[in-house]
Amino acid sequence: MSVISERMKEQRKIKKLTQTSLAELVNSSRSSIAQIETDKYTPSYAMLSLIADALDTTVAYLQGKTDNALKTAHNGSNNGDDKKHVDLNDDELIMSFEGKELSEDYKQAIIAMLKTMREGKQ
């Protein structure tokens, strides 16, 4: 079995999802999910990305590039850095610097730039 098929099945079971329910989440069929889990079919990167999102993990984890199944690393240590994680997949970002709120126009410009960058990666 490939790393993708093993980890996908493992994460699906951790999330208590059936093949059918996972298929519904990624707009696919149960047989497609079964074929991936039995290593009869290798999913495209786009499909793998949808599966990773549905399983609340990362493509890198499913591919075996990392052993961290979490979307964001939480090591529990507090080094005094109070920065918040910003998920660049969010369409709306609330940003401020040193307590000063950014103007709405500036926020929209940043969001537009991030969307353009994200579209360029796909």
Q: What is the CA radius of gyration of the chain?
A: 18
For residues 96 and 45, give the distance between their C-alpha atoms in angstroms, rounded to a whole number. Answer: 34
What is the fold of 3-62? 434 Repressor (Amino-terminal Domain) (1.10.260)
For the whole prediction, is pTM greater than 0.85?
A: no
**How high is the pLDDT of residue 14?**
92
Give 32-68 pLDDT, tens digit per residue: 999 999 999 999 888 998 999 999 999 999 999 988 8
Q: Any idea where the domains of the chain sit in the sequence? A: 3-62, 85-122
- Percentage above 90 pLDDT, the chain: 42
Q: Report phi then psi at 16, rounded to 5.
A: 60, 45
For residues 82 and 87, give the distance between their C-alpha atoms in angstroms, rounded to a whole number. Answer: 16
Can you give the three-state secondary structure of 2-25, one letter per residue?
A: CHHHHHHHHHHHHCCCCHHHHHHH
